[in-house]
Every structure is written in C-alpha cells, then in structure tokens.
Structure 1
Amino acid sequence: MWILILCLFCVSIYAISVVEHWSIYRHWDFMYPFSAFASSFVQEDVKPRMHDRTFLQTAPILFIVAAVLSVSVLPFAKEFILVKLGTAALFINAAFAYIMVSMVLAGWAPNGLYSMVGGWRFLGQLIAYSMPIVMAITSTVMRAESMDMTEIVKSQYELWNIIYQPLGFILFYLASLALAFLPPFDIPNSLGELSGGVFSEYTGKKLLIFRIGRLILIFSLALATANLFLGGWFGPFLPGFVWIFLKTGAVAISYFFFGRLMPRLRHDHSLEWSWKYGTPLALINILWVGILLLL
C-alpha cells in the first residue's frame, strides 16, 4: 500500500508541474517536468559575490524540509499517515511557519536588491495570512474536539466542513494561495515586478530544490484542504486513498485556474485584505462554529 501511495504522490507532483506550466504558457507539455529538472540539474551554480554562505546553503533545504514535514502528518487514507500526532493540526501550522523563515533566509543570503525585497514582502504576506490559516484550522478542531487529523476527518462523516463552515473553507483556500505565492498573491516572486523576486539570484541545484519544494508545498496545502474541509477519505465506491488523491488533485489544479482569473494584488492591498477582512471573518467563522456546537 505504501508503495502505491508513493507512486500516487509522485504522479500528483508531476501533474501539478504540468498544470502549472499550462496555466502560464497556455499549451500542454507533458515532458516539461523532466526537461526543467534536467536543465536545472546541469545548470552552473552561480554564487553572488557578497553572499551569506550559510544562509545560501540552508534556505533551499529548509524550504523543502518544511514542505515535507507538513505532508508527513496528513492522512493519505484511514490508516496511512507517515507520522501520527495527537497535535497534528497544530504541527501543520508550525511547519508552514518555517516556509516564512526559509524565504527570509533566501531573500537575505544573496545580498541582492530584488531577492531581499521579495523576501521581506513574503515575510509580511505570510504573517498576514497565517492568521486566517490557523483560525480556519482551529474551527475544524473545535468541531472534532481533537487536534488529531484522523478525528478531524471522522467528524465529517455525515457532513463535510465545506458545508458546515463554508466561510472557513474560503479563507483557508485563499490563504493557501498566498502561502504558496500563487496568483494573485505572487508579488514576492513575480517576474514582471522583481525579476523573480526571492529566487532571482538562485541557479542550478538550489533553484531546483526550491521548485520541487514549492510543488510539494502546493500538494501539502491541497492535501490539508481535502482532509480539513472535503471529508478526507470519505466517498462512495472507491477506496479511501483514491478519494484522498482525487480531492487533493482537484484542489491543486483549481489553484492555478482560480488564481489566473483574478488580477494580481499589489503587495499593500494583499496585506490590507488579510488584516482588515480575512482575520475578522476568520473570527466570525469560529463564532459560527461555536454557536452550531452549542445548538
């Protein structure tokens, strides 16, 4: 079973890469993941003249480790979790916080203007959108009365959280786009704005690690959405692990289609949206779930 799940995970990462390429260039290239991997792998590793050596080496590794850690506590099926934690819901948010740390290190290390501005922009963006994420997770924990991801999924047996608390789902979905710096929240690494932003000074294997880590991060956020709001492994006819991957794939693909339909938000506007509207609405969602539980 674990071999099958590993194969489905690799297929999911491949599919996410292909769909992302289509969303940018508007044509299908099913060899793109392999060609992008090969070109980055053999590319010369150019180092900026006055870089911070420790941070330059640490940032890509920390980024991909944080993405993998967030996947490790999420169920792939009823009895298939890499690491079963009683506080898994809290651990997910903690793992996502290290994405912020890695991006700040990545922006600071090259000692370049574009990368540094991109890093600080991402810091502000993640701090702003971590509040809706943690409060949306809190509302699912309230209903399940547990931080165990298995119990959160089981609490949706009769009614998925997307119906029970649709506002929480919308907030978590939008905050996920911001955390993965997908459109319309991609100002920190946009080519037109900052020539690649955080990643503008990275080449070769370091850039490859960032790209793979970002694909895993997108998969992790989609998998978290499937488990927290879309009933996890529950579904008719098909095995539970198949439903998990179908829901995860649908959410991941929707990230690219939905984001491209919206105009890119200016950095200050994206922060304003979260602090003025996203965080208060997340508090209202917690109040709503509390009222439903009392009733």
Structure 2
Amino acid sequence: MRQVDAVSGEQYRYALTNFRIAHEKVEEQRRQLEEQEKQVALLRSRIALLEGTASDERQEGGRHGGSSVDDFSIKNAASQLERLINRWAADIVRAPPSPLSDIHGAALGDITGTYDHAPYDVSPMQVQNILRHAMSEVIGNEIVNILVVTNSPEANVQLTRIHEHLFARNPVVACVWRRQTFSAAVETCDPEMTAAILAETLPGLTKVLGGSVNNTAPILASAYTFSRMLHGAPTSFNDAFYRSFVPELGSILYPRQIELVRRCHKSERGEQDRVGATIFPGLVKVTRGGIPATDQNQETVHMVVRRAQVICECALLSSGNIPMQG
C-alpha cells in the first residue's frame, strides 16, 4: 500500500491562515501603490492647471508619445549661444588686444588655477578654443548651475541650495518652487553682477583683454535667457531639472558625454586621447528614479540631453606647438 503524505487539520488551518494574511498584505500594498500613483497624477495635473500648461502637455503627449519637446528647443537655443561664444573668441583672435601667448596663458591659468605654465608659441586656433573653454566654464558653472534669480550672487547661491534641498526631498515640489521663483526673477542680469562674475572666475583673462571683455555682455545675456528657459519655463515633466557639465582639460574622452567637433586621429586608430578644449558645455537632465516621487531614497539619475562639444588634444596639437598631457 502506497504511503500518502498528510498534514493534520491544525497544520492545514495554520498554513491557510498565513497564506490569507500574506495575500491581504500584498493586496494592501497594491492599493497603497495605486493610491500613491493617483495622488502623484493629481498633483501633476494641479501643477499644470496652475501654470496654464494642462492643454499644452496633453497636446505634446499626443504628438510626441509622451517624450519632452523641451529637449529639441534646448538644443536649438544652445546652438545659438555656442555661435555667440565662437564669434566672440574669433573676434579676439582676429584683433587681439594683447599677444596671443599672453591671452592663452591667462585663460589657461584661470581654468587650471595655475599661472606658472612655461611660455610657448600658440596658434590662433588654440587661443580661440581655450577662450571658448573658459567662457563655457563661466556659463556652465556660474549661470546654468546657479539659479540666477536676483542681482545678488550670494542670494542666488542660497536659492540654489534651497532648491537642491527640496529636490532631495521631493522633486515635484522642487519643480513647482523653482518655476514660481523664476516667475519673479530679474529680466536681465545687472552689468555689475556680470562684471563681478567675470572678475572672479576669469581674473587673468579679464586683465589681459582689458576693454575687450565688455564684448562678453551679449553672451552672458543670452546665457541668462538660456538658463531661464531651462529652469523657469513650463515643461512636460514636473520632477526634473537641468545641469551643465564641462569636461576638464586633459580628461579622457567619453563618447557618451562628448561630441568631437574635429576628427580625432588617435581615437580612429584605437588609441586613447584627451580633451583639448570644451567649446560648449554639455547638459544633463537630473531626475530621481522610480515611483513614487515622494520616496526620499530614490537614486538620482543623470541623462545626457546634449553632449559637450569638444576638440581633442591631437587636433589642437596639429594646429600649433601645445604640450600634450600624458
């Protein structure tokens, strides 16, 4: 006779009770998650209603399958700003107020913080690109990555810290706060503030360029408009913001972060090359991964929206006598 495994009635009832309890807990968690998603969706719709963008978001979602149309506008605006920077650098090289070697040395010193570089002959292209790198750092670090809301640099730094604190706690709340704050922002940057930014970030270059530094006013004004578009304009997402990044001189080329504006012969041969100059900053969209948006333990995600525009060291080397970094 075959032996049949059996359990007592008490064990069966105990297992059945535990299964029922586990099932009820799972069902309760599912209901909580659905409720959280409803609350997040309701909050997003209220934000859109308050900002007057509810119909725009529905239209954008229908046309683009839910993807943000803002990225396309940002890339166009960035291209216009990049052309302004290039024109400014080209004008300086075309009619330099000081010897090109002095301009290059001052810009390199401002970027690296070291002014004891050995003098060497430089080509106009090298000077033009180091100027573009210097201006890219000013725009990226001092205008895009700082919420320029007032004409007080100290107040702007404090507002930026408040936003970072809010974003760490709740990205949606931070987004609403940021847009409301920018709705009361100054229309243009005060000339004294822009002059102070240049004097602090590019002291050597400001001294060498003399009066020519005043030609940066249109660039900084355009950069401020660009920053306001990034941080203050309504978008089709309510839980992200933009940050700029500038690959350092001599750093390794990472294809996901940079876009070469000239051919890199070393990379084509499979050899490692480095950044010779960043001629325009890259942009990343910073979000908090996962749902719900109120979870404070979510990981911060950086998605590259526009790669930094870079010229490699070997391309700069081919245009003049500039030392390579090992």
- TM-score > 0.5, shorter chain as reference: no
By percentage of residues, which structure has more helix?
A: 1
Greater Rg, structure 1 or structure 2?
Answer: 2
- Which structure has more relative contact order (CA 8 Å, sep 6+)? It is 1
TM-score, normalised on structure 1? 0.30
